[in-house]
Amino acid sequence: MLVISVVGALALAVIAFPFVGIGGDADRPAPVADPIPGQTSATQRPAAVVVARADATELLLPIVQERITAVVFRAVDNPEARELTPGDGLKYEIADIAGASGPRTAGVDIGAPAGTPVYAPIDGRIASVSDYLVAGQVEGYEVLIEPSRGSSIAVRVTQMDPFEGERPEIGARVSAGAGEPIGRVRDLSRVAELPVGRFTADAGNSVHIEMLATGNIPVG
């Protein structure tokens, strides 16, 4: 059974993310793609592109490339979050957020318009499905994925609405960038200042991903 030391919904302590600075490198590769208008069909699949890695575990893009607005790494208020190494060949930014402890690349936001289908970023099993909280209010849900290959981490994916009205089932097997989406990007622009919005011309909605070190509290 997968166990971790931080379980389920980790509430955002504030309604806005207070920025103290913005990092980036103009010499990095070109963006994944320019986002296109309209909804993405569930028959489209993300390309097998590594967005981040940690401890030999790779996270693939969870969103079709044509819908991605930005890739933004940032620190998170979660002591179990592992430092991520950005994938090669992607343009990305780093947002410095006041008050967030830990590595500057402990979490990654994949920007996309609200409603965009989200796929699993790794092969594995859904270990938990929990409400996602913003300032104490339920704003969609998050999932925790136990990787198929033996690993000391779990993958947390947040800021989603159900795909076709249903949340994923605990125990369901998922494949990176394949099968049914695990959710859709939720519109949080009305309740928070979003990190991705600092780098795009849109509302800054995104799906957020972390790799968590496993601990001693059962989930599922």
- CATH number of the domain to which 63 belongs: 2.70.70.10
Which of 115-139 are b and which e, b meaning 16 or more Cβ less than 10 Å from the residue's Cβ? ebbbbbbbbbbbbbbbebbbeeeeb
Task: Give percent of the chain above pLDDT 70.
Answer: 77
pLDDT score of 24: 45
β-strand pairing of 93-97 with 71-74: parallel
Task: Give percent of the chain above pLDDT 90.
Answer: 65
204's tokens: 């800054």
Number of domains in the chain: 1
pTM for this entry: 0.82
Show the domain range for 107: 3-29+45-218
Q: Within 13 Å and on the Cβ side, how many CA atoms surround 158? A: 24
Among 131, 162, 126, 160, CA closest to 144: 126
pLDDT score of 201: 92
pLDDT score of 11: 39
3-state secondary structure of 103: coil
In a domain? residue 37: no
CA distance 129 to 144: 7
Q: CA 9, 23, 71: angle at the middle one, nearest 5?
A: 50
Sequence-separated (6 or more) residues with CB below 8 Å from residue 109? 70, 71, 72, 73, 74, 194, 195, 196, 206, 207, 208
The whole-number average pLDDT for the span 30-43 is 50
What is the band of 81 on the pLDDT scale with cuts at 50, 70, 90? Answer: very high
- For residues 213 and 30, the model is more confident at 213
User: Taking the CA atoms of the chain, what radius of gyration do you get in angstroms?
Assistant: 16
In a domain? residue 35: no
In a domain? residue 34: no
Q: In 10 A of CB 101, how many CB atoms?
A: 12
In a domain? residue 20: yes
Please, is 39 exposed, middle or buried when counting C-beta atoms within 10 Å of its C-beta (0-12, 13-18, 19+)? exposed
In a domain? residue 39: no
Q: Are 148 and 103 in contact (CB under 8 A)?
A: no
In a domain? residue 140: yes
In a domain? residue 132: yes
Among 211, 195, 160, CA closest to 70: 195
Query: In this predicted model, what pLDDT tens digit does every residue of 126-180 receive, in sequence order?
Result: 999 999 999 899 999 999 999 998 678 999 999 999 999 999 999 999 999 999 9
In a domain? residue 149: yes
